[in-house]
Amino acid sequence: MSKSILLIIGGGIAAYKCLDLIRRAKERGIDSRTIITKAGTEFVTPLTVSALSGHKAHTDMFDLGSETEMGHIQLTRMVDLVVVAPATANLIAQAAGGLASDLASTSLLATDKPVLMAPAMNVRMWNHPATQRNVARLKADGVHFVGPNEGAMACNEYGPGRMAEPLEILAAIEALILGPQPLKGVHALVTAGPTHEPLDPVRFLGNRSSGKQGYAIAAALAAAGAETTLVSGPVAIAPPAGVKLIKVETAHEMLAATESALPVDVAVFTAAVADWRPEEIASGKIKKTSGPPPSIKLATNPDILASIARAKLRPRLVIGFAAETENVVVQAVQKRSKKNCDWIVANDVSHGVFGADRNKVHVISADGSEEWPEMDKHDIANRLVARIAKALETAA
């Protein structure tokens, strides 16, 4: 579930900090659409802003290209939040007065989304009764503010007026658009997808795992505020926003990547790790001959979940998945104790769960087994993450 902002860049020396803000927001999975005021273009160029954001930087009312008359309104409706940074005295006054004299002020008047302003101006301008009146007016209208900070200013004066730092603005953005983040400060790890175990340069042993459930869990953990690392085997889905992705191919690589991500607070093992690998990998393609077909000698792969669940740096909460085709709950209960995990999420994979969008699971813990109704894999992920948040909160 990716989020986006409309960033209105005003004309102030602090405009350069918006470049860092766009970059950091992107790292956190937040997409930035941008409008630069006429004065703003004196400080940052549309080219730099669009290169960083990956979208056209809009500059005035008559620069909407092929967009319709409704273009500027759409721009304010397609995002989750409108951010004004730097919010100059002029932009604040325009917004407080309800003016619609250029693209920036028109967008502020047209939006139905929350607005966050990061003021930046000379200390006397900030303290001026007119600015203070405008800020009070906007606050009464429900506009949010971050900063200004106090400090030495570019104009050699000292006091309140410095724009908040990009990370402070980002924290305010996240608080407004991401809702409650019960896993803020928590480190999480997810394994997902299949592993491919090579036989020769063109062939491998693999399985039908699509990675959908693991990717949905990683996305839900990140949305709940967890610093999330996703160790993924080969899959064909896009990485979730705001997640650190480590791509691997084999079980051995998955184990190494998982170990390198420790310590974490919670680890969820959704990967369908190949239990065996060809003992030998041919350096060249194995050729077809007229003789009998080759037989493949297998070696046992490491059990990643069992190994992490017994590691010195064992996460506080270790959650396994159990893919079963019969006696689902009984087998999963045994698997939970055999692998030393706290919870095991059991699913019946005999009816096309691999690659599907929906699943039906049982969650098994020391407290017993809980049957969940069939639902979308994203809903399973959200419900599991809510359960994780509750468990970590209780344990803390």
Binding stretches for ligand CTP (CB under 6 A): 191, 251, 269, 271-273, 275, 301, 303-305, 320-323, 335, 339
- C-alpha distances out from residue 166 to 31, 115, 161, 275, Å: 15, 16, 15, 46
Judged by CB, which is closer to ligand CTP: 90, or 207? Answer: 207
Would you tell me the crossing angle of helices 89-97 and 103-110 to the nearest 10 degrees? Answer: 40
Is residue 155 flagged as an active site residue?
Answer: yes
Specify whether the CB–CB gap between 33 and 49 falls below 8 A: no
Least separation, in Å, of the C-beta of 268 and ligand CTP? 8
Judged by CB, which is closer to ligand CTP: 60, or 275? Answer: 275
Least separation, in Å, of the C-beta of 327 and ligand CTP? 11
Specify whether the CB–CB gap between 181 and 261 falls below 8 A: no
Ranges of H-type helices in 141-211: 166-177
From the list 130, 154, 155, 167, the catalytic residue is 155
Least separation, in Å, of the C-beta of 341 and ligand CTP? 8
Judged by CB, which is closer to ligand CTP: 101, or 300? Answer: 300
Least separation, in Å, of the C-beta of 297 and ligand CTP? 18
Residues in the chain: 396
- Rounded distance between C-alpha atoms, residue 77 and residue 88, angstroms: 23
Q: Which residues pair with 119 in a beta bridge?
A: 87
Q: Which residues pair with 261 in a beta bridge?
A: none
Token look-up 């620069």 returns 63
- C-alpha distances out from residue 326 to 26, 330, 334, 351, Å: 44, 9, 13, 11
Judged by CB, which is closer to ligand CTP: 3, or 277? Answer: 277
Judged by CB, which is closer to ligand CTP: 115, or 230? Answer: 230
Least separation, in Å, of the C-beta of 246 and ligand CTP? 15
- Catalytic residue positions, numbered: 155
